Amino acid sequence: MNLYKYVSDAINEKLGTAVNLETPRNREFGDFSTNAAMVMAKGAGKNPRSLAAELLPQIADLDFVADASIAGPGFINIKLKDDFIWHAAKDATKITQPTQLAIDMDYGSYNVAKSLHIGHLRTSIVGDTLNRVARFLGHRTVSYNHIGDWGRPMGLVIAHIESLHPDWPFFEPDFDAEKINQADYQITAAELDTYYPTASARGKEDPEFLDHARKITADLQNGHPGYTALYNLFLAVSLDMMDGIINKLNMMPFDKTLGERNASMHLDVVEKMLRDRNLLTLSDGAEIVTVRRDTDSEPMPPFMFYNSRGADTYEATDLAAIWYRKTNDNPDKIWYLTDARQQLHFKQVFRVAEMLDLFPTENLEHLYFGTINGPGGQPFKTRDGNAAGLLDIIEMVEDAVRTRTADAGKELDDDTVKSIALAALKFTDLMHDVKSDYIFDPAAVTSFEGRTGPYILYTAVRLGNVLRRAGDIAPTTPMPATLGTDERNLMIEILDFERTIHNTFETRSPDILANYTYDLCQLINTFYHNCPILRDDVPADVRAGRLYIAHAAYAALARAIDLMGLRIPKEM
């Protein structure tokens, strides 16, 4: 149940207004407060306090209101009836979502033969969570790992392998895939990791090598059998590595691993569409589409369909991918999650997609991220000063958890350490506004106290243990004679779960979910400290009541944790 909406709709209907409810900092006088009287007084030229006094009986009359009172310049404070909250708490995590959307979500989107780095962290974590939230709300999503599997890096890597293994058969003009034994040509993940950086560096110094790599790329794209066989060899290694990361990050599997290569197969269709509409112009040997609008205040260079060497561009493949998705999934929306540097790219692509009547630009959304910085505020590096790979980062966080638990004299098994590290890493990412930069400090994010993943898990483990020890809980427990403040506050927070999920989705802001989860944990822990449950001196009806609350709280917390893609360990 969305308590906030329920109460606010009822009040607005009663008063014939449309104002927002507030949740007062000091809950003593009210669970909610409304400035309706102040807003209405302005229009009617009345004194807000006296109008509030006039409206008070109407609000007090609502069947869920225990008490209404005037505060300050004309706020009306509203206290809810205990039994109303009590019964509502049972279904706190049941959600109503009247309209279902079909969304294609493009996130992760890793690159073949290039190692995954810190820049892929946010797109993976945020993408996975938004996908989980969308599905929980009943939307139909198709997730795409739009891999970078077809550009110049492929040619560079093949050229590099050629110089390492000139004797391999892939480079012979009469190469025949039937005649070789694939098993004789092994490339390990660790080797592959070094190929692209080495080749790319060499390409910068050695124009001949670069030219050769370009030629290979073009030949590969035209179906050269040897290059294709070699490509398939390291593609498999790359896909394996990606799977490892997806698994390690506890992400849902992608529905489709289809990227630039797949899109490039559909360039013909898109090119025809562009030509039919006379949108392509020749400019310095390149074929471009003008996307500038008179209203643009920022530079808006043309969209490049073919560059001056006639090669397919990143823009072109993204346009073709939109065509592909429209044709195959016909989604209402496509979301793209990448870092902020790709903003211009997507603006251009979206404009051309609109010109081709594929999608209006408002249905194509680019959700972009700020940068993850190290404790000094500079881009995050590993201890040896290198750009951090995704696996290095995960390992660093796991080490930080091990150090911390060893310092505290705890012994945790490896699975638990991994779950805690994952929570630390993901939660800090999710709790920051996606567009802003944030500082990543492995030691800080693994703390068991404060706004951290481990704190969230710890709260869940502890509450879960109480519930396990208590055994079965009756779904309809009578309300005890009185409800304490901590019990009420916790229940009201639980009843904010649904609104949180809707807001997270509507604003594409996982930080709303993460920070809600933290607030919920704080209230759970206050409740845990102040309201003993299983202690011998607790009267039976009070215990049953508290278990009922604990149960509802756990349901909301466990769901939130699941939506963030974290795992609750058995013990901590």
Closest to ligand ARG by CB, 119 or 302? 119
Q: In angstroms, what is the minimal distance from the CB of 339 to ligand ARG? A: 7
- Angle at alpha carbon of residue 482, lines to 476 and 483, rounded to 5°: 75
Q: Quote the least distance from Cβ 211 to ligand ARG, whole Å.
A: 24
If one asks whether residue 254 binds ligand ARG (CB under 6 A), the answer comes out as no
Q: Which stretch binds ligand ARG (CB under 6 A): 65-73, 106-114, 188-196, 513-521?
A: 106-114
Q: Residue 79 contacts by C-beta under 8 Å, 6 or more apart in sequence?
A: 29, 30, 31, 65, 66, 67, 68
* Least distance to ligand ARG, CB of residue 78, Å: 47
Q: How far, in Å, CA of 17 to CA of 76, rounded? A: 14
**Min CB(494)–ligand ARG separation in Å:** 37
Q: In angstroms, what is the minimal distance from the CB of 350 to ligand ARG?
A: 11
Q: Which stretch binds ligand ARG (CB under 6 A): 26-34, 103-111, 364-372, 546-554?
A: 103-111
Asked if 117 touches ligand ARG (CB under 6 A), the answer is no
Residue 71 φ then ψ, to 5°: -140, 145
**Which of 4-20 are b and which e, b meaning 16 or more Cβ less than 10 Å from the residue's Cβ?**
bebbbeebbeebebebe
- Judge residue 178's burial from the number of C-beta atoms within 10 Å of its C-beta, 0-12 exposed, 13-18 middle, 19 or more buried: exposed
Report how far residue 538's alpha carbon sits from residue 531's, in angstroms, rounded to the nearest whole number: 9
Closer by beta carbon to ligand ARG, 52 or else 291: 291
CB of residue 349 to ligand ARG, shortest distance in Å: 8
Binder of ligand ARG out of 2, 34, 93, 111 (CB under 6 A): 111
Q: How many residues lie near ligand ARG (CB under 6 A)?
A: 9
The verdict on 106 binding ligand ARG (CB under 6 A) reads yes
The total number of residues written for the chain in this structure = 572
Q: 112 or 524: whose CB is closer to ligand ARG?
A: 112
Residues 338-357: x where in contact with ligand ARG by CB under 6 A, - otherwise, as a string: x-------------------
Which CB sits closer to ligand ARG, 390 or 425?
390
Closest CA to 252 of 510, 569, 570, 562: 562
Q: Tell me if 228 contacts ligand ARG by CB under 6 A.
A: no
Q: In this structure, are residues 291 and 285 in contact, taking their beta carbons and an 8 Å threshold?
A: no
The CB-of-110 to ligand ARG minimum distance in angstroms stands at 6
Q: Distance between terminal CA atoms of the chain?
A: 31
Is residue 109 a contact residue for ligand ARG (CB under 6 A)?
A: yes
Q: What are the CA-CA distances from residue 400 to residues 276, 404, 430, 498, 530 (Å)?
A: 59, 6, 19, 34, 32
The interface mask with ligand ARG, positions 449-478, x = CB under 6 A, is ------------------------------
Question: d(Cα 150, Cα 449) in Å, to the nearest integer?
Answer: 46
Amino acid at 297: S
The interface region with ligand ARG, picked from 104-112, 158-166, 480-488, 510-518 by CB under 6 A, is: 104-112
- Judged by CB under 6 A, the chain residues 124 through 163 that form the site for ligand ARG are 146, 148
Would you say 342 or 503 has its CB closer to ligand ARG? 342
Nearer Cβ to ligand ARG (175/254):
254
The region that residue 104 occupies, defined by phi over 0 for left and psi between -120 and 50 for alpha, beta otherwise, is beta
Comparing CB distances to ligand ARG, the nearer of 336 and 448 is: 336
Cβ distance to ligand ARG smaller for residue 338 or 459 = 338
Q: Are 113 and 190 in contact (CB under 8 A)?
A: no
- Work out the angle at residue 423's Cα, subtended by the Cα atoms of residues 418 and 428, and round it to the nearest 5 degrees: 135
The one segment of 46-54, 105-113, 179-187, 291-299 that binds ligand ARG by CB under 6 A: 105-113
Shortest separation between residue 159's beta carbon and ligand ARG, angstroms: 21
Cβ(289)–Cβ(316) below 8 Å: no
Binding status of residue 336 toward ligand ARG by CB under 6 A: yes
- Judged by beta carbon, residue 30 or residue 148, the one nearer ligand ARG is 148
Contacts of 104 (CB under 8 A, 6+ apart): 141, 142, 144, 325, 329, 331, 333, 334, 335
Answer yes or no whether residue 212 interacts with ligand ARG by CB under 6 A. no
DSSP 349: H
Rg (CA), the chain: 29
Q: Is 318 in the site for ligand ARG (CB under 6 A)?
A: yes
SS3 at position 3: helix
Q: Output 170 or 195, the one with its CB closest to ligand ARG.
A: 195
CA distances from 301 to 19, 200, 217, 340 (A): 44, 27, 26, 17
What does the alpha-carbon distance between residue 467 and residue 449 come to, in Å, rounded to a whole number? 22
- 75 vs 346 by CB, closer to ligand ARG: 346
> Looking at beta carbons only, is 106 or 392 nearer to ligand ARG?
106
CB of 426 to ligand ARG, least distance (A): 19
Binding site for ligand ARG (CB under 6 A): 106, 109, 111, 146, 148, 318, 321, 336, 338
